[in-house]
Chains A and B, each alone.
Chain A
């Protein structure tokens, strides 16, 4: 039986092949970067976080054989890298999700709707993570669940709560 493209890619990554890392970047780089930007709120921190994911992947490449879903593994690594980078930007080494609450304003790109950006900043960190992984990275709830270590149902509920919270925050701002 032949190997799937993901198995081949995983073997290449485990062997340390540069072309495999290039392929991984071509396949996932855009979504990783956008999710990192959503998590850190900073273009520079997002670039650094994506690079950190690749170097961490290379260092731990021998463990890739045990990874069931590469996609979830990548975004779990991104979550940690983004928290580290956001912590460094704030002068702390904190690794918890609270670090991800807009370490810096998303100032590099003009916001289409300032109310939406403000509402995003006010989201609890765990909800913001789910929103970023769902909307910015385009992950399924199953993959989000694996990346965050929660069930797919919990990820879906958290996403819904996040949307409701965004809606209510935006409404408050409109009414004010």
Chain B
């Protein structure tokens, strides 16, 4: 083991340690810290770029979901994005229905008009119960 080096090897070890070596360059510290700062700035920029892409992707997905929902609601229900109900935009039709079905109150007449409109567009409708 080196602890029991012979005197001549010890002397050689001393000569190795004493051989002249260049001193630490005075500007190396600043150069290295500048390189670390650059690395950090590059890392932040890369992280921000990936974050920004995520935000854009999330916004696009949200917009598509919103559009799909609106498109599903659109056909004539009177909800956001849809055309107004034919039943509601046609008071004359309500008056006609009231004439032919005087036993129905306003609310039932409105429901009846909605069902008629749906059937006329070929949409599936819930089963209609008998109305007196």
Query: A: which residues have CB within 8 A of B?
Result: 16, 18, 21-22, 25-26, 29-30, 33-34, 37-38, 43, 46-47, 50-51, 54-55, 58-59, 108-113, 116-117, 120, 131, 135-136, 141, 153, 156, 159-160, 163-164, 166-167
- Over the window 56-96 of chain B, the binary record of Cβ atoms lying under 8 Å from chain A Cβ atoms (1 yes, 0 no) is 00000000000000000000000000000000000000000
Total interface residues in chain B, CB < 8 Å: 28
Are A136 and B32 interface neighbours, CB within 8 A? Answer: no
- In whole Å, how far is A85's beta carbon from the nearest beta carbon of chain B? 14
CA distance A29 to B31 in the complex (A): 12
Is the C-beta of B126 less than 8 angstroms from some C-beta in chain A? no
Are A111 and B5 interface neighbours, CB within 8 A? Answer: no
- Over the window 2-20 of chain B, the binary record of Cβ atoms lying under 8 Å from chain A Cβ atoms (1 yes, 0 no) is 1001001100110111111
Is the C-beta of B28 less than 8 angstroms from some C-beta in chain A? yes
11 A-B residue pairings within 8 Å (CB atoms):
A16-B40, A33-B24, A43-B25, A54-B32, A55-B35, A112-B19, A113-B19, A116-B15, A135-B16, A159-B2, A160-B9
B28 to chain A: which residues have CB within 8 Å? 29, 33, 47, 50-51
- In whole Å, how far is A46's beta carbon from the nearest beta carbon of chain B? 8
B1 to chain A: which residues have CB within 8 Å? 153, 156, 160
Given contacts A58-B40, A108-B22, A112-B20, whether A21 and B15 have CB atoms under 8 Å apart is no
Is the C-beta of B39 less than 8 angstroms from some C-beta in chain A? yes
- In whole Å, how far is B61's beta carbon from the nearest beta carbon of chain A? 30
A111 to chain B: which residues have CB within 8 Å? 19-20
CA distance A58 to B42 in the complex (A): 12
CA distance A16 to B37 in the complex (A): 9
CB-CB nearest in chain A for B44? A16
A136 to chain B: which residues have CB within 8 Å? 21
CA distance A30 to B17 in the complex (A): 14
Are B33 and A51 interface neighbours, CB within 8 A? Answer: no
Would you call the interface of chain B mostly helix, strand, loop, or mixed?
helix
Is the C-beta of B107 less than 8 angstroms from some C-beta in chain A? no
CA distance A116 to B11 in the complex (A): 12
B33 to chain A: which residues have CB within 8 Å? 18, 21-22, 25
Are A135 and B32 interface neighbours, CB within 8 A? Answer: no
Given contacts A29-B29, A131-B16, whether A37 and B21 have CB atoms under 8 Å apart is yes
CA distance A46 to B36 in the complex (A): 18
Are B21 and A109 interface neighbours, CB within 8 A? Answer: yes
Given contacts A160-B2, A167-B8, A167-B12, whether A54 and B21 have CB atoms under 8 Å apart is no
